[in-house]
Amino acid sequence: MKKNQKNNRIITPKNTGFTRREFLKTATTSLAAAGMLGAFPGMALARAKQYTFGSASSAGSWYPLAVAMSKIISDNVDGYHVTGVTTPGASRENIMRMDRREMELGWSTANFLHKGYNGLDPFSGKQKVKGWFSAYPGIFTIVARAATGAKTISDLKGMKIGTSTPGSMTQLGNDEVIFPAHGLIPDKDYKSEKIQFSDAIEKMIDGHLDACSYFMGAGVPGYNRMADSVKLNFIPIEDSAKPAINEKEPSFYFDHLPAGTYRGQKDPVEYVCLAYTTCCGAHVEDEFMYEATKAVFENLKFITSASAVFKQTKLEKVYDGMPVPMHPGAEKYYAEMGVTR
């Protein structure tokens, strides 16, 4: 980068191959040397350390939440500016970029975070990432038509169960983990109907399915429509199956769907859950992570305005379903607030 002597403009060389951070660092140094920082509004931003917060596509909840959290951190942690970005590869891309130090913060489902940290497929080696906090759960919500008489998972033997599309995380979780842990083998002890959720809703209503299990948040419209149209029994996980479930899938945990979430559901129901988590690169400074964590949990109301799913984010639940060690900076804040693993 050089200064045009005639008009004092900063000239950026073409084809330098600078990354965004390299450019900002070089630009700031050059302007400071020229005594010109005051003449360029906004260059204080360039002097801040630039961090990136990965999400997923712009269509889901993760991107607006990443943007909201980035603003809160930038406004409350001196010397840092965080930018929320879309990442088409979602969990896997975020983890890999953090490992390469191309990103500092990101979203991930707990199972991908577990696989990345331990170097399991689809990752080629152990990824240098740490946990930040469990934000909110997805739930394997198992229901049966009340007319079947089924009230336990064992009662589902011989029935047609909607389990989601072939190869999806939901289908594999159902047919390879949850039902086998209860002694039910797909297409031997029950008929696994590998169909999308919208089709399962129709088939549950018209009686062509006996039961279904789909990985969703609490209170989703599809289950509401189902419960409004036909009487359902909400089928809980059995305690005896929990060890086998965790042996097969360590990132699964157990929590209750609150009573009254759906019509006819009078009591809390214990289900298998998988956390939607935030994570960070292992290289990120302890002090930054402490201050960033403090900023987020002191501004939950603002962040929730970006997506209602964040209403479920609670300080006392930051460890629920977190499959990897927490970053020490975040852990320090939780300990000060009386929250430990």
pLDDT at residue 42, as a whole number:
53
pLDDT at residue 15, as a whole number:
38
Higher pLDDT, 221 or 91: 91
pLDDT at residue 43, as a whole number:
53
Give the separation between CA 82 and CA 104, rounded to whole angstroms. 9
Average pLDDT, the chain: 88
251-270: average pLDDT: 94
What band does 44 get if pLDDT is binned at 50, 70 and 90?
low
Q: Inform me whether the pLDDT recorded for 74 exceeds 50.
A: yes
Q: Is 23 exposed, middle or buried (0-12, 13-18, 19+ CB in 10 A)?
A: middle
Q: Inform me whether the pLDDT recorded for 2 exceeds 90.
A: no
pLDDT at residue 46, as a whole number:
63
Query: What is the assigned CATH class of domain 137-275?
Result: alpha beta
Q: What is the CATH number of domain 10-136+277-336?
A: 3.40.190.10
In the chain, pLDDT over 70 holds for what percent of residues?
Answer: 87
Q: Inform me whether the pLDDT recorded for 178 exceeds 50.
A: yes
What band does 216 get if pLDDT is binned at 50, 70 and 90?
confident
Give the separation between CA 120 and CA 52, rounded to whole angstroms. 25
pLDDT at residue 45, as a whole number:
59
Q: What are phi and psi of 134, to 5 degrees?
A: -80, 125
pLDDT at residue 308, as a whole number:
83
pLDDT at residue 39, as a whole number:
46
pLDDT at residue 102, as a whole number:
97
Residues 82-139 have pLDDT tens digits of 999 999 888 999 999 999 999 999 999 999 999 999 999 889 999 999 999 999 988 9
Q: Do domains 10-136+277-336 and 137-275 have the same CATH topology?
A: yes
Kind and range of the H or E run holding 243? helix 242-248
Contact 226, 264 (CB under 8 A): no
Domain boundaries, the chain: 10-136+277-336, 137-275
Lowest model confidence (mean pLDDT) among 67-76, 244-253, 272-281: 244-253
237-259: average pLDDT: 93
pLDDT at residue 250, as a whole number:
86
Give the separation between CA 43 and CA 37, rounded to whole angstroms. 6
Residues 50-63 have pLDDT tens digits of 999 999 888 778 99
* pTM assigned to the model: 0.72
Give the separation between CA 302 and CA 320, rounded to whole angstroms. 23
Q: Inform me whether the pLDDT recorded for 11 exceeds 70.
A: no
